[in-house]
Amino acid sequence: MMEKLSRYNHFFQMADTLRVVYNARTGAVVRLLPQHFDPVAVDDHSERWRKLPDSVLEMLRDTGMLISTGTDELKEVLERYEKKRTATNKLSLTIAPTLDCNFACPYCYESRQPGKMDRKTGNQLLDFVRARLETGGKLSVTWYGGEPLLVPDTVVTLTNEMEKLAIISSVTTDFSLVTNGYLLSGPIAEKVSAAGVREVQVTLDGPPEIHDTRRTLRGGGGTFAIILENLKKTVDLFETVRVRVNLDVQNRDAWKRVKEILGEAGLLSRVELSLGMVEAISDTDAVYRDACMDVGGFSDTLADFMLDSYQEGRCDALELPSMPVCGAISENAFVVAPDGSLTKCWNDVGNPGKVIGHISDPNHLNGDLKRWRQFTPTDWQECRDCDILPICMGSCPDRLMRLGPGPACTRWKHCLREAVILYTLSRIKEEEHGKTG
């Protein structure tokens, strides 16, 4: 059988002995001895890899790094992508029960709108869920905003009702909440948790002296101290609490102090720490554009974060990337506004020009839906030829359609080496601990 090396192989080396091959299509990582690595990694057209020991060649075959010459890898990647995006056994909803907010963050892309989801719209939402659920499937709901905890009763009531619908249809559920954390007090957190919300994301943009200049109350005043106190009181009510640090050029290293403060508060081992890149994506936050990092700058910060996680034995950001399928281009994923209007992208919530329909009429969706259904990253030649396409797939479809390749590229374009090496080193450390433990 004629064979060739995969177009999605990536080769990394560190120090004198560590040699790693990563395949972006299969997600596999293998460690090779230097004498086995060079014939695979060096493209000198001599095909020295054909003379490698059978055991090494078999390992490369098993991991998709060595394939038949007749294999069309791009076709396989696109078929897997299409299967994932058109799956209907999972209903994913991002629900904004209000677009109002108690904060005045300068980089927020949403235009604050008063009002909340009323009971009639809530009932229509339940009918929409009932119509879209598949027996034995999954329901995934993210409560979003605005600030969803401005209307906690709506969150609690509808979560309870959707949980009942899921039980009837033998559907598994996954309820999460994105909140600024200011209203996540003990009583409210207990109700939200009891209703079935298992994951919460809260934002701290740095230590108080930084956070309180960025994430202020609408009427003025800092928010850090109350958020931190709320985290202390409620962290154990949820299976996962994620603390996100939104970064730009003004606070690119602020995550280090957040980590220290969480440690001093006894929270670091009880939360997941993650980094977000501030982007200017609408007219509302356009004035903030000059403060935003580009993806390369953010990737440098993320690499530092991953190294810190490895050195301290935390799992933050040490997982390898996998094929992403954005909800905006997924067949059975929707963003629901307080009035019941539907959009596909989080960035478009509350924007009438981006509406694709209404929850009261789930069988008649149109409007802006067409561009999402027609999206494919391989419409751009740069994406089609890219050796990390399977772990990017155009990254954010909205960004790719607005800005094109380059500005839209995923962080993996810049820090895949660090991610793979640190992941490998962490696995080696686990293996050594297993041998001595």
Across 154-181, average pLDDT: 97
Across 149-161, average pLDDT: 98
Please write the tens of the pLDDT for every residue from 278-299: 988 766 656 778 889 999 999 9
The neighbour count for residue 306, using CB atoms within 10 Å, is 22
Please write the tens of the pLDDT for every residue from 120-145: 999 999 999 999 998 889 999 999 99
Kindly tell me if the per-residue pLDDT of 429 is higher than 70: yes
* Element holding 141 (H helix, E strand): strand 138-143
The structure's pTM equals 0.93
Query: What Cα–Cα distance (Å) separates residue 370 from each residue in 128, 290, 331, 362, 399?
Result: 20, 32, 11, 16, 17
Q: How many residues does the chain have?
A: 437
Strand, coil or helix: 135? coil
Nearest to 210 by CA among 273, 253, 266: 253
Using CA atoms, how far apart are residues 83 and 4, in angstroms rounded to an integer?
26
Confidence class of residue 323 from pLDDT cuts 50, 70 and 90? very high
Q: Which of 9-13, 258-262, 316-320, 350-354 has the weakest average pLDDT?
A: 316-320
State which amino acid sits at residue 239.
Answer: E
* Element holding 155 (H helix, E strand): helix 152-168
Query: What Cα–Cα distance (Å) separates residue 145 from each residue in 74, 91, 123, 201, 267?
Result: 38, 19, 19, 12, 26
Kindly tell me if the per-residue pLDDT of 436 is higher than 70: no
Using CA atoms, how far apart are residues 354 and 110, in angstroms rounded to an integer?
13
Using CA atoms, how far apart are residues 33 and 40, in angstroms rounded to an integer?
11
Q: With the C-alpha atoms ordered 352, 366, 345, 194, is the resulting torsion angle positive or negative?
A: positive
The neighbour count for residue 76, using CB atoms within 10 Å, is 14
> Which pLDDT score, from 0 to 100, does residue 60 have?
97
For the chain, percent of residues with pLDDT exceeding 70: 98
Across 259-277, average pLDDT: 97
Confidence class of residue 248 from pLDDT cuts 50, 70 and 90? very high
Please write the tens of the pLDDT for every residue from 330-349: 999 999 999 999 999 998 98
